[in-house]
Amino acid sequence: MTTLAATGVFRASWLLLAFPVFGAAVLLLGGRRTNRWGHLLGVAMSLASFVYGVIAFFALLGYHGSREVDLHMYSWIPVAGFQVNLGLLLDPLSLCFVLLITGVGSLIIIYSVGYMAHDTDRRRFFGYLNLFIAAMLLLVLSDNYLGLYAGWEGVGLASYLLIGFWQFKPTAAVAAKKAFIANRVGDAGLSLAIMLMFAEFGTVNFTGVFGSVKSGGSGVGLALGLLLLLGACGKSAQVPLQSWLLDAMEGPTPVSALIHAATMVTAGVYLMVRSNPILAQSADARMAVAIVGAVTLLFGAIIACGKDDIKKSLAGSTMSQIGYMMLGAGLGPAGYAFAIAHLLAHGFFKAGLFLGAGSVMHGMDNEVDMRRYGGLRRFLPITFVTFTLAYLAIIGIPPFSGFFTKDPIIDAAWESGGTSGWLLGGAAIIGAGVTAFYMTRMMLMTYFGPRRWEENGVLGGAGAQPASTEPHVPHPHESPGVMTWPMIILAIGSVGAGGFLIVNYRLADFLAPVVGPVPVIHGLWTWPGIIALVLVVLAGGLAWTMYGRVPVPAVAPRGSVFTRAARADLYGDAFNESVLMRPGQWLTRLSVFFDSRGVDGLVNTIAATIGGSSGRLRRIQTGFVRSYALSMLIGAVLLVAGLLVVRL
């Protein structure tokens, strides 16, 4: 695969980054004087990037043969033996992400204009969103790992700032810190991988690394694959670094939709798919990726079943869906294209679900507890319809998106053969059933059944105002057009995107230059897919018998041991605290003890000894001249005596 130098419209592809950077700079440095029109600038810059992305996409479609365009921007780190050029790589894979980030991103930013209308700090919010878009574009467009790493850290920063946007709420501040620290663990893996690349291959360029890794042996491939997987686990909230994502829901809902569902958390999948030549070197590394994906897709789905907080339930669902993508990425060329297809479709339906949840919260005075919803379909008809379409897409009912994009992953996992194929495929099929259960539960608790808020009131909580302790009766209402139109467009995407991408292998053919062709061609209907579909219907029915047929209690019942485990995030936090935090604290205490008693004790003892003895010794200085004279005489006598002794 050769890379073309940028010509024509691609020479201006730096504009993709420049627009959101400009927006972020103006909004964050411009201060209060940009308050009045700041949000409009934020929307405009994001849309401008999107328009350029569309132009570049069609320009790339016009190329035949090689579809990789590299724009060299400038030499970033020119040191002898270590040349890093900041360049942009526009190829089918990165353009898919550009369109997702700027397209879904623009819709969510437009939605935020309405959602954040009453927030006094709206300008800062849009500045952070533009900063995020710029960093995310750098992540997917960079043509080397170091530039990718810079974008990787940039989105981490934006995520931290936006989770903690309502930093006056202690829970939000803690959640932001937790997300940052958990990501640090993953980032360490990524930075080690980049160091290893430089040590082994002497370059961090994609082309250079992928060219050298083939001759590097499987040991290097395995090490790189596992380190990159660690990085991907941190950013994409995969087991074992999953705990931060559920707390990240403390941020404003558009942030949850954009960063913690549609784009940033999928960066790990991008990293895996982009590094496919490295994964190709080591079957063990691919297996590790697939296992992480399979474990997480069940882990997240089970958590989502236990949560009463609508956003946390969706966050568990996000973990689970990204687990599917990781599973797909771990299956090699059979899964890369489908992982990306599921990622794009997920961007639509999960963003739609989150925006729908935000719309419900907007109408319900920021209440997030689904047990205080009920019967909302009459009050929020547009939200209800768009949410339903996204719901049908995520559980994989044909002909909606999820059916087309999830089934190939299930199928590819099943086909991978042997015991691992049984286990991975089985996990994926069961995960599809659990997905149907928790999503149906969410639909029933939110939109159907009696109006539980009328007798119980709402407490409010996730919004800019701190949670109240006195329940009050809200007046649910449909959101304004600036919020509903993005939801409608996303719903259309949820319906059609999957079929468009998968039928005729459109996306797979488009991505083939980057990730290689799909080895085995299947029809739409496969046995694992049909089993999963049957399971989806059964699980939906089970959810109806539990939450639709019988009334939902306003206060959560104690539940079985499994329910309690799911509510406690399957004890992920408890595990971290007991295995990592407590020993860490003990280590700190031990170090402090050693420092104060050991090191300080030794130093202080020496100082006290010298101080005490000199205090006694200085009494010799009496101030009497005669005693000084005597000591001089004694000294002189000793000197003379010494000289005589030496001479004799």
Give the integer Cα–Cα distance in Å for 348 and 333: 24
Q: Where are the alpha helices (DSSP H) in 503-548?
A: 506-515, 527-543
Which residues have a Cβ under 8 Å from the Cβ of 109 and sit 6 or more positions away? 42, 43, 46, 126, 129, 254, 258
Q: Is 639 in the site for other proteins (CB under 8 A)?
A: no
Task: Work out how close the CB of 634 gets to other proteins at its nearest, in angstroms, rounded to a whole number.
Answer: 11
Tokens linked to 30: 């411009």
- Residue whose structure tokens are 């295995």: 579
Place of tokens 């004279």: 629
CB of 610 to other proteins, least distance (A): 16
Q: Cα separation of 251 and 259, whole Å?
A: 10
The answer to whether the CB of 487 falls within 8 A of the CB of 386 is yes
**Nearest distance in Å: CB 624, other proteins:** 6
Q: How far is the CB of 620 from other proteins (least distance, A)?
A: 8
Choosing from 215, 469, 560, 621, the residue that interacts with other proteins (CB under 8 A) is 621
- The CB-of-621 to other proteins minimum distance in angstroms stands at 5
Q: Is residue 523 near other proteins by the rule CB under 8 A?
A: no
Whichever of 58 and 624 has its CB closer to other proteins, that residue is: 624
For other proteins, the binding residue among 32, 36, 549, 619 (CB under 8 A) is 619
Does 611 participate in binding other proteins (rule CB under 8 A)? no
Note whether 610 binds other proteins by CB under 8 A. Answer: no
**DSSP track, 412-464:** HHHHT-HHHHHHHHHHHHHHHHHHHHHHHHHHHHHHSSS-HHHHH-B---SSS
Distance CA 261, CA 358 (A): 13
SS3 at position 279: helix
Residue 606 vs 633, nearer CB to other proteins: 633
In this chain, which stretch among 27-35, 223-231, 576-584, 614-622 interacts with other proteins, using CB under 8 A? 614-622
Nearer to other proteins, 599 or 632 (CB): 632
Asked if 648 is part of the footprint of other proteins (rule: CB under 8 A), the reply reads: no
Smallest distance, other proteins to C-beta of residue 645, A:
20
How far apart CA 613 and CA 163 sit, in angstroms, is 60
β-partners of residue 90 are 69
Which of 201, 299, 190 is closest to 243 using CA atoms? Answer: 299
Q: How far is the CB of 609 from other proteins (least distance, A)?
A: 19
DSSP for 305-324, please give it.
HH--BHHHHHHHHHHHHHHH
Which residues from 147-166 bind other proteins, rule CB under 8 A?
Answer: none
* Residue whose CB is less far from other proteins, 195 or 639: 639
Least distance from other proteins to the Cβ atom of residue 631, Å: 11
Nearer to other proteins, 603 or 630 (CB): 630
Count of residues in contact with other proteins, rule CB under 8 A: 12
Which member of 623, 645, 646, 648 binds other proteins (CB under 8 A)? 623
DSSP 156-208: HHHHHHHHTTTTTSHHHHHHHHHHHHHHHHHHHHHHHHHHHHHHHHS--BHHH
Of residues 625, 645, 646, 648, which one binds other proteins by CB under 8 A?
A: 625
> 418 or 615, CB closer to other proteins?
615
Q: Please report how close the Cβ of residue 622 comes to other proteins at its closest, in angstroms.
A: 6
626 binding other proteins? (CB under 8 A):
yes
Q: Which is nearer to other proteins, 65 or 623 (CB)?
A: 623
For residue 514, give Cα distances in angstroms to 66, 86, 217, 344: 10, 20, 21, 17
Of the candidate spans 88-96, 416-424, 583-591, 629-637, the one that interacts with other proteins by CB under 8 A turns out to be 629-637
Q: Using the rule CB under 8 A, is 630 a contact of other proteins?
A: yes
Check binding of 624 to other proteins (CB under 8 A): yes
Q: By CB under 8 A, is residue 2 in contact with other proteins?
A: no
State the Cα–Cα distance between residues 566 and 298, nearest whole angstrom: 11
CB of 626 to other proteins, least distance (A): 6
Q: By C-beta, is 475 or 647 nearer to other proteins?
A: 647
Does position 633 interact with other proteins (CB under 8 A)? The reply is yes
State how far the Cα of 116 lies from the Cα of 132, in Å rounded to an integer: 17
Q: Residue 166 region, left (φ>0) first, then alpha (ψ -120 to 50), else beta?
A: beta
Is residue 629 a contact point for other proteins (CB under 8 A)? yes
CB closer to other proteins, 558 vs 618:
618
Interface residue with other proteins among 622, 646, 647, 648 (CB under 8 A) is 622
Give just the sign of the alpha carbon dihedral 184, 189, 190, 195: positive
Q: Check residue 618 for interaction with other proteins (CB under 8 A).
A: yes
Distance in Å, CB of 633 to other proteins, minimum: 6
Whether the Cβ atoms of residue 48 and residue 19 lie closer than 8 Å to each other: yes
Angle at the Cα of 503 from the Cα atoms of 501 and 504, rounded to 5 degrees: 105
Contact footprint for other proteins (CB under 8 A):
618-626, 629-630, 633
